[in-house]
Homo-oligomer: A and B are copies of this chain.
Amino acid sequence: MTGFKHERHKSPTPLKQPRELVLACPPFRSQVNLSRIVRAAGCCGVQHIVCAGNGKVKSKIARDGAEAVEIDVHRSLEPQLKKLKQTGYALVGLEQTSGSVSLFEFPFTRKTVLVLGNERLGISENVLALLDATVEIPVYGLPHSHNVATATAMALYEYCRQFPDG
């Protein structure tokens, strides 16, 4: 008898300083993906998402993440990314590229914008050209590519693992 007792919905882990991770989302094909990302971001203590496209979130999926996370909707990501870069953020794309580093081995800096790509098209060429780094998640089997919200969850997890206190 191991005696594990449920403690579901524990109090959240306090952060010693606010998360300085920002997510940048392109126009997604699916509102569901954006909504799942908002929920995961909220759970990770992320406070800010920059978004192109309509930015509509399904609150049934995002839950209270939809209120906890500030979602700034813009016509295009590039000007926002340039501004964030000027204020000291590293721009890190989640994308398989000629220069991508395994997420297993990537040391994040605290002030990071995690830049996501569209489900079909990935990160646009214009945005790719602005990035400081790209990270990829090793894939071992079929279907050979993660859903974008799943991949984002993994990257959020890795960032939080590196900065468990904020």
Contacts and interface: CB of A to CB of B under 8 A. Distances in A.
Q: A interface, by DSSP: helix, strand, loop or mixed?
A: loop
A128 B8 CA distance: 13
Interface stretch (A12-20, A50-58, A71-79): A12-20
A12 B2 CA distance: 39
A83 interface: no
Contacts of A131: 2, 4
Task: Tell me how many chains of this kind the complex includes.
Answer: 2
A43 B144 contact: yes
B154 A157 contact: yes
A146 B12 contact: no
A36 B4 contact: no
Given A2-B129, A6-B95, A6-B123, 20 more contacts: A1-B129, A2-B99, A2-B131, A4-B100, A5-B97, A5-B98, A7-B96, A8-B95, A8-B96, A13-B139, A36-B150, A39-B147, A43-B144, A43-B146, A44-B141, A68-B143, A102-B164, A104-B160, A137-B157, A153-B154
